[in-house]
Structure 1
């Protein structure tokens, strides 16, 4: 250990998580943390100290380090707010190998580029239907969160899983209660239990009357063969449903807001569908909506001039890594032609988002079609009036009033 290496004694530290001031920029406090080095100390809601990693290289290094655990059942696992532990989103994202690897191998064939490409016509149909509804009856204004950003990914994930979209109001409400930072632990726990109960009932119905969808495939291939238990399958289904619409809905909403606030970038996308993929990669980097990767050290780790001690909580906000000036030139500028493939918006390593190919397809189609079909789209209120979701939740806005 070098003589200038610091350890984890209690130090004066800022509170974490931090809330964004502008919906599409990271919290201002991230720069202060970055100035202290690639790792800095923060204080969680219960007074517990933890590390926040702002360095891009250190983030990548730690996300593949097996000494960092994702196991949310560990008593020393750090939580940003009490509702995070109560929500019980442990499938895939909240577990370590070998259990994690078993579940991931089970699901990955359904989310390959090839499989997602077969879904693109259905995604385009869904996007077209939602835009048609926006334009019906000569309407000239709408709130794009409930009218577009949320129903597009909700409909897509329902079709993929084989979940009745008629139930969307129920599961969207329960998801909101699970993930929003304003929810209490009791509300999150009740919402989680309600969703698991919903899927337990749905699995039983599908056993009696099989349908089409990933859930039906898992029932036939894994549940019926004894490779999965009913409770485990219900937990996996809940995770895929929540992850499959909540993050993408916020990403669609914030992407629209960012493009409206950067009209030259919106015009570039509208003029050339060929840059849709590049635009989405840049928006993923620029917005980093899933900004709450958390781990706990299962052993001492020396990195970036500090020692992360066993049991220390570690947060890796990809909004900090994705605005690294050492990696991305002029990182605070939105440039839809940049094509930022090096971003960490989907994480890195074994826990890299399993649904990233699906999310990319939804974003490319939704953003281009909206820009093309409603060329006069503009915000109906100043951005300052929209507010932001509190720190510790998926980043976004609760509403997006527009006119055209």
Structure 2
């Protein structure tokens, strides 16, 4: 696994670039996911605009004039944060680079550098607009197309999605949250995709309504983008080893080098006893550890063992037992292989993205593409939950996970939405 890009470049290219230690692998792929989603969304909105399905909206925007008080304050805050944390990081590189997240969330930094950074950005803002002093700002009417709003949509999705994912994760893991709420809220780990999707959707739909963007065409355009972004985001989970993996595949245990070794079913119990301290930290009842043996079948012999089970050596959450011969911050490996569910979701969602991208031109009833996305995404997540580690609820004798409940509602809601759209909306035709 590659906790940050330093380890990735070192192992893949033989390059040791200490600065890359601050670039977390999971965060890197999340950023790529947003960029990929923005690219697909922009292109699909442009296509619908050319067909005449989406129209621009005329808005009056303020141009000219000197910088406002709000702009000076914003530049000052940004400059202070950059100087305080940026210079502080460079001056305390030896310790801060070992725990970048901890440093960012701490009160450590260089206060004087922060003041200097604030002063510099305020001066640059003043200098860039001083020629406009005495010139009043005026309003100009401009036409704004839906695709031009994608940057705003992506920023709102990132902020709302992060907050929603964090809130839903803590609701799902309430016992851990109440024990240490501050760490649970500020930690970079612990995100629930559906929580982020729900909160981001509410925020973006309100924005679209306010800006007079056709909601049905917007969500249809976003459907392939969401599927692709989810697949790319799961790459971050897989390559970083963020703990979002499956139950134990008891047909495999980890050897001294961190690699998978296929064993008989009885070896699983032996591995548990040999590493009983680790398993007791994970489960109160070690006699009922979630696991399912599945050895690589002969028909799939061309696939590597890590496709069926992974110990996630050097995982970013430092979960597992010490890895022999390893010195450093990330030297843990799971003693028994787990199902690499992020890898399965990457493959599934890339395929589903291809399906949505292929049918988007054939289905012209507004809203239907998004309904299909809800069904496909719900089915994918519902079935992957069968081999994932998650908190289960007790509802009338059933024991679903939060994701199973939401994914089931997505499938049902998607079917109902498709039926509603087909009944209420006629296929759109090209008007330009």
Fold-level match, TM-score > 0.5?
Answer: no
Of the two, which has the highest radius of gyration? 2
TM-score, normalised to structure 2's length? 0.25
**Going by fraction, where is helix more abundant, 1 or 2?**
2
TM-score, normalised to structure 1's length? 0.27
* Structure showing greater relative contact order (alpha-carbon pairs closer than 8 Å, 6 or more residues apart): 1
